Amino acid sequence: MIRSVLVMNTQGKPRLTKFYEFWPVEKQQEAIRNVFSVLCSRAEHVSNFVDAESIFGPDSRLVYKHFATLYFVFVFDSSENELAMLDLIQVFVETLDKCFRNVCELDIVFNYSKMHAILDEIIFGGQVLETSSTEIMKAVEEITKLEAQSNAINLVSKSVSNWRSR
């Protein structure tokens, strides 16, 4: 099971966090700080796999990828394959690149709901749902269309309501 997904910048500021188990906010923040201290102290040429038992409890592993100014981190238990998790990070980043044309930190900050929609298409409740970035993009495009239709309906509804109140 995947326990959490973290995206943070190179200064340790979380840009996207998703915990699939209940953790109080204070514990989440402490875990994020601890993960960042581990990541920023690691050399560039070492493995992307880290034992995370001291941060997330027994049977916890962490895998990460560093792209430009962002760390993409997945925390999981022994029921998941480490290489599969590394590949899943790649799928997540590829999907974000397709969606935002070379994703950067500002894309994450200003498109928070779209980021969560993409992540929810890949992982739900700690379980991997989809590993094809093409299929994920189709689902996200459909969600975007439905949101646009909903916004258009709301705009028309507000206009009609304003017109009637005159």
pLDDT digits (tens, 9 = 90+) for 106-146: 888 898 888 898 999 999 999 999 889 888 888 888 887 88
Total domain count, the chain: 1
Per-residue pLDDT tens digits for 19-37: 999 999 999 999 999 999 9
Q: What is the pLDDT of residue 11?
A: 94
The CATH number of residue 87's host domain is 3.30.450.60
Q: Which residue has the higher pLDDT, 14 or 164?
A: 14
Token reading at 51: 């034992």
Query: How many Cα atoms occupy the beta-carbon half-sphere of 137 within 13 Å?
Result: 13
CA–CA gap between residue 62 and residue 73 (Å, rounded):
7
Alpha-carbon gap, residue 131 to 39, rounded angstroms: 25
Closest CA to 105 of 142, 143, 68, 55: 68
Domain residue limits at 142: 2-164
